A = this chain, B = another copy of it.
């Protein structure tokens, strides 16, 4: 149930209104917007008499029942785009932001080289995996804390904010210097982890699970938001289908639909979706054209020798060439990098 407030209501009146319902056992979402400000009631609202509340609270203009399960993530309660800022990077609100870096942190030289190069080309956030979810226990599992140190060092050198994947909640204290916490596709429904990252004060990039619907994806964002963290970036990275010619099937129409349904920023990961280097550039061009808020591109100084995902990684020159094209296209769309 959402209550749209009259214009010009004081913050004290809003606080009193929320307290009244929170004392009665409900949670509330406060959603200030350009057109109107709304308060959403969460919990079992079946017995709540909406009309009486509207009639007895002068600060309320009108009320509405919210049919979507994703109250906090949906546009019904919160119609304006959420904008998330990290360093010089902006997600949502018209920017098109490029995250780049290798699949996994391998050594200091690699990380320095790639970080400086992608910064020069125009990337705004640097990615690198220190803890790697691998299908086989016998595959390279990442450098762990040492990997995080190398990332911190690269951040100091370049000024680029960092994104890295957390695999379980006990690792969170290690991620102090990481600016955006990534939740991987396999953890999209690791609800306890979602609750924990809901308690930290930094942005979370949530990847769509391999076989999760858009509705489930938004419900996982809702877990993070319901725990108190509204800085969630959604990342479409391909779903698993019967087709095996590509690693996954990029659901680009799904990404557009996410932006229709939700106010959260939405980016696309063409590298994991396709799994094939030659498809990264065309899918990036498509992402710009449909209007999502950015891309995350695997970039490596020597893809042929990468410890993971080499086949889908661009080398530094290919990434630079792509960035030139991205700039031209973002300008054409009237947006900013």
Contacts of A239 in B (CB 8 A): 241-243, 249
Counting CB contacts under 8 A, is A252 at the interface?
Answer: yes
Report the interface size for chain A: residues with CB under 8 A from the other chain. Answer: 66
Contacts of A249 in B (CB 8 A): 239, 241, 249, 251, 253-254
Copies in the complex: 4
**Which among B214, B252, B291 is the interface contact of A252 at CB below 8 angstroms?**
B252
- A170, A214, A245 — which one has the most chain B CB atoms within 10 A of its CB? A245
Counting CB contacts under 8 A, is A8 at the interface?
Answer: no
Let me know if A138 and B69 touch, CB within 8 A.
Answer: yes
In the complex, A252 Cα to B249 Cα: how many Å?
8
Counting CB contacts under 8 A, is A213 at the interface?
Answer: yes
Let me know if A242 and B260 touch, CB within 8 A.
Answer: no
Contacts of A332 in B (CB 8 A): 332
Let me know if A134 and B282 touch, CB within 8 A.
Answer: no
Counting CB contacts under 8 A, is A193 at the interface?
Answer: yes
Let me know if B226 and A138 touch, CB within 8 A.
Answer: yes
In the complex, A1 Cα to B189 Cα: how many Å?
36
Known: A219-B137, A286-B289, A289-B282. A243 touches B214 (CB 8 A): yes
Let me know if B242 and A246 touch, CB within 8 A.
Answer: no
Known: A168-B192, A253-B250. A285 touches B276 (CB 8 A): no
Counting CB contacts under 8 A, is A304 at the interface?
Answer: no
User: 1/0 per position for A266-280, CB-CB distance to B under 8 A?
Assistant: 000010011010110
Let me know if A242 and B241 touch, CB within 8 A.
Answer: yes
Counting CB contacts under 8 A, is A306 at the interface?
Answer: no
Counting CB contacts under 8 A, is A200 at the interface?
Answer: no
**Which among B167, B211, B289 is the interface contact of A211 at CB below 8 angstroms?**
B211
Let me know if B257 and A226 touch, CB within 8 A.
Answer: no
Contacts of A167 in B (CB 8 A): 190-192
Let me know if B245 and A213 touch, CB within 8 A.
Answer: yes
Let me know if B240 and A257 touch, CB within 8 A.
Answer: no
Let me know if B189 and A168 touch, CB within 8 A.
Answer: no
In the complex, the chain B residue whose C-beta lies closest to that of A168 is B192
Known: A69-B136, A192-B167. A246 touches B240 (CB 8 A): no
Contacts of A168 in B (CB 8 A): 168-169, 190, 192-193
Known: A169-B170, A252-B283. A245 touches B187 (CB 8 A): no
Instruction: Give the shortest distance, in Å, between A112 (CB) and chain B (any CB).
Output: 28
Let me know if B210 and A211 touch, CB within 8 A.
Answer: yes
8 contacts between A and B (CB under 8 A): A134-B191, A167-B190, A186-B189, A241-B241, A241-B249, A242-B242, A245-B254, A249-B254
